[in-house]
Chain A
Amino acid sequence: MTDAAILSVPQAESLFRRNLRDFRRNRLAMASLIVILVFVVMAVAAPLIAPQDPNETDLLRRLQPPGWAPGGDWAYALGCDGLGRDILSRIIYGARISIFIGLAVIFLATGVGILAGLAAGYFRGWVDVVISRVVDILLGFPYLIFAIGLMAMMGPGLMNIVLALAYKEWVIPCRVVRGETLAVRELEYVEAARALGAGPRHIMWREILPNILSPVIVISTIRMANVIILEASLSFLGLGVQPPTASWGSMVSDGRAFILEAWWVSTFPGIAILLLVLAINVASQGLRDAFDPRFSE
């Protein structure tokens, strides 16, 4: 008998790579990823791409229609708003705000959520009671009203928006992490690590966290779409970034007054929000399908 048979190996592919391959097979998700990438590139390279200065007002071009419509000018492809600013350029610059706030809130919230969730799920007892009660209370507030209240207290500003949204957003990853931690901590490999002499820090970071990261990443992506909508809502209500900085939400809001005579002012930023949110949602579905074993065959 040779060793070759003893050592024959079922599959030589890491779990992560298999997940990634699953994701790549999903065409819709890949298309969404491309849409997201386009937006990211737009945000990063805004000064290079934008045809006009987004904040330059020109009353002569007030409510100028899009390039293809009568009276339009292709240099201002998507038309101009009530102050004669180029809508396309403002959408390109607005992507910066949406994506920055989306990422910042999600990173902050996920970081805090992981710490709190791990602590609650691993130590249980009073730590869990305290954290879970705080989570329950925060969940009791309607999200938008809570954020509006905070913005009203802190005043507008980019960092304040991030804080106002992250204040409550962390409970989502926290609950996911806590639940997964409770399940994983009972598994034998965690017990094995304890039997080998490992302490809480090693167990939380090295044994538990890597095994619960997939659902956290998936939920965070889904939530990012939500955060972008919330930011747009805050800006729409005038509580977001301050003018003249371009933000999709405030652009939609600005266009309200002219919705009958100049539909393009509200519509194009609205489409931008829709596209980005839709793309993130579809991509996160794909992520979930690929990384969550419950959804793959």
Chain B
Amino acid sequence: MSVLLEVTNLRTEFATRAGLVRAVDGVSLRVARGECLGVVGESGSGKSVTFSSVMGLVRSPGRVAAGTIHFDGRDLRGLAPEEMRAIRGRDIAMTMQDALTALNPALTVGEQMAEVMIAHDDTLPSARGARRSAIRDRSVEMLGLVGIPAPETRLRQYPHEFSGGMRQRIMIAIALTCRPQLLIADEPTTALDVTIQAQVLELISDIRARLGMSVVLITHDLGVVAEHCDRVMVMYAGQVVEEGPTDQVIGAPRHPYTRGLLASIPRPALRGQPIRPIVGQVPDLVGLPPQCRFHSRCPLARQGCLVQVPMLPAGPGRQARCLRLEETS
């Protein structure tokens, strides 16, 4: 499979009152064509900032300080703002966690879809009538694709007239309007109920298979990743700590953080057995020394862990940022 997105050594910093925060510190990743990559992490892990950086959406006081971002052979960091705008929405699309605030409440769903098409689609006919009906047909098709009944009438409605699950579908429909090669779904189901969450996730998987696009699924829910992603990348305090095929990473995690995270998930099957949470909390990202960031919470930590740890091979197609890998195999 060929590589669609390749990020190397990405560093994104935020200037705060307390000091410089490296929200993303040396993240490298690859997304192959047609693949679904799961990105897992807790709040503050840098998982969303990583992909805002890819999209060129990091705003002051934040900035992408270092690293390269190659998408479909182009260097995104070297692009002018208007070139980047042309790629956003057309080649890479992103959906946000909160569909209610991400959609414009003052425009109908149809108008919002038309905007994206007018901005990006050069294949639209230039005659006004033909153009309008082309836009309408495509919008109806997209809403139908995401499973919204009666799309012709729904197009004329405003976001507040839809339920939470429906709004998430609409946001996906808008993101898919220009048939992007990569869909970045940022916590697409966190705000939704389980039964609706299942519908939306299945929809994304289904469309991915049908359109052959790549998907990055940003989530805090390992269960979602286990069911929907080919590969998974676990982030902690701004760094990737483990990466590999989903079955292997979840079935036999090698990094102590991934192991702790899996052990933290309460499961009905574990009833009566004590739960073993990771102790402590995520370190403050201001002024972190260049050493293993998990060592203060790590059950395997030794004195020797207080050094900068690179990603190390942890099996075929797998890597983990830990010096104690032989103890976790």
- Contact between B280 and A6 (Cβ–Cβ < 8 Å)? yes
- Asked if B284 and A1 sit within 8 Å, CB to CB, the answer is no
Any A CB within 8 A of the CB of B127: no
What sequence of 0s and 1s flags, for each residue 1-31 of chain A, a beta carbon within 8 Å of any chain B beta carbon? 1000110101100000000000000000000
The reply to whether A5 and B284 form a contact with Cβ atoms under 8 Å apart is no
User: In the complex the two chains form, what is the Cα distance from A70 to B257 in whole Å?
Assistant: 86
Which of B280, B281, B283 is packed against the most chain A CB atoms within 10 Å?
B280
Q: Which of B18, B280, B283 lies in contact with A1, CB distance below 8 A?
A: B280
Are B284 and A8 interface neighbours, CB within 8 A? Answer: yes
The size bracket of the interface on B is: under 10
Q: A1-B279, A5-B279 are in contact. Are A10 and B297 (CB under 8 A)?
A: no
Cβ–Cβ < 8 Å partners of A11 in chain B: 18
* Residues of chain A within 8 A of B281, CB atoms compared: 5-6, 8
* Main DSSP-derived SS at the B contact region: loop
Q: Is B296 an interface residue (CB 8 A)?
A: yes
Q: Which of B95-125 contact A (CB under 8 A)?
A: none
Q: How far is the CA of A138 from the CA of B267 in the complex (A)?
A: 62
Task: Give Cα A11–Cα B286 distance, bound, in whole angstroms.
Answer: 12
Task: Give the residues in chain A near B283, CB-CB below 8 Å.
Answer: 5, 8
- Which of chain B's residues have a CB closer than 8 A to the CB of A6? 279-281
Q: Please pick, from B18, B280, B299, the residue contacting A5 in the complex, using a CB distance under 8 A.
A: B280
A1 CA / B280 CA spacing, docked (Å): 8
Which residues of A from 201 to 251 have beta carbons under 8 Å from B? Answer: none
Give which listed residue, B280, B284, B296, contacts A10 with CB less than 8 A.
B284
A:262-284 near B, CB below 8 Å: none
Measured CA separation A5–B301 after assembly (Å): 14
| B288 CB to nearest A CB, Å | 13
Q: How far is the CB of B306 from chain A (nearest CB, A)?
A: 15
Bound together, the chains give a CA A8 to CA B282 distance in angstroms of 10
Could you list 19 examples of A-B contacts with CB < 8 Å? A1-B279, A1-B280, A1-B296, A1-B297, A1-B299, A5-B279, A5-B280, A5-B281, A5-B283, A5-B296, A5-B297, A6-B279, A6-B280, A6-B281, A8-B281, A8-B283, A8-B284, A10-B284, A11-B18
Other 4 A-B pairs with CB < 8 A, given A1-B279, A1-B299, A8-B283: A1-B280, A5-B280, A8-B281, A10-B284
Residues of chain A at the chain B interface (Cβ within 8 Å): 1, 5-6, 8, 10-11
